[in-house]
Amino acid sequence: MAFQRTLKEEIKITGIALHSGELSQLILHPAPPDTGIVFLYHKNRKIVPIPAIVENVVDTRYAVTLGREGCRISTVEHFLAALCGLGIDNLYVSVNSSELPILDGSAIGFTKRILEAGIERQKELKKVLVLDEPAEVVEGDKHLIFMPSAGLKINYTIDFGRLILNKQTAFFDISEESFLKEICLARTFTFLNEVSYLRKNGLAKGGSLDNAIVLTDDDILNDSLRYRDEFVRHKILDLIGDLYLCGYPVRGHIIAYKSGHSLDVRLVRLLRKFGEVIEDDSQEKSISEKDIISHLIPQSYRPPVNPH
C-alpha cells in the first residue's frame, strides 16, 4: 500500500520570478494528512489560502495562475510537477509575491531542495484520482486523450513546424524514478521573437539563458541541451504539474498532441468533475533521499548534449 507524504522539515526556496523579474521566496511547511497542496498568500497582514486545485485557476496564458479573494500566484506548474514527481501529498506553501521563482527553468531546483530536507511518510493511505472511461479534449488541431490505466503514462508529441524545432515525440511511464532521471531536468523554452513580444508587454523580465532555452528560426542560443528531446520532455513536465491540479495523483494513460496549459486545464476540469478519488492500492517503492541524490539525479545535472 502507498501512504501520504509531506516534508520532514520547513525549507525556504528563493529565486527570480520569470515574468516580473522580482525576487520571490517560498517557505514550505509540513502539513497534516489530507491537507493537499495549499499556497498561503501573505497580503496586508492577512493570509489567504489558495488550494492548488483547478477550481482556483484564473489564467493559463504563458503559465498557470491560481487566484482567490483577489490574490494571484502564477507560474506554479514546475513546482507542482516536482511535488507530484516526488509523491508529496500535503504541504503548506507560504509565498511573498504573485509569482513563483523560475530557478533554472526546470523542476530540478525544487526537487533537490525537497529531497535535501527529507520526505515524511504519513500514516494515512495515499489517494488517487481515477476515471473508468476514455475522455478527450480538443482545440483546433491540438488534443489530449485520456484512457484508464493502472498508473500514469504520458505519450506526448510537439510539432512547431520550424526547421530548428519540428516534431518530437516521447513516452514515459511516470514514476518517481522516471521523473527524476528523465523529466525533472528538462527546461522551459521559447523563441527569440517571442521574448521581444513578451518584454514589450511587461513580461519575461526575469528571463535569461540561465533559466530557459532560447531558439531562433535556425539555431539554439544556449551552449547545450540536457536531452536531445528536451523540448518535448519539458512539455511532459508541464503536463505533470497541470495534472496535479486535480488535487490528487492521476491514474491514466494520456496522449497529448501540441497541448498547452489551456488544454491541460480543460482536461483537469473534466477529470475533477467525472473522476473518482480512491485509496491507492499500489505497492509503494522505497527510494532513499540519499540514493536519489547520489545516483538518480546527476550531481552536475547531466552531461550536456550539443544541439548543433
* Active site positions, annotated: 261
Across the strands, what pairs with 138? Answer: 143
Burial environment of residue 69 by CB neighbours within 10 A (0 to 12, 13 to 18, 19 or more)? exposed
Q: Which residues contact 194 (CB under 8 A, 6 or more apart)?
A: none
Full DSSP string of 92-137: EEEESSSB-B-TTSSSHHHHHHHHHH-EEEEEEEPEEEE-SS-EEE
SS3 132: coil
Nearest by Cα to 189 from 157, 154, 233, 155: 233
Cell numbers for 184: 525533472
Residue type, 136: E
Q: Which residues contact 273 (CB under 8 A, 6 or more apart)?
A: none
Do 154 and 33 touch, CB atoms closer than 8 A? no
Cell numbers for 281: 492500492
Please count the other Cβ atoms lying within 10 Å of the Cβ belonging to residue 130. 18
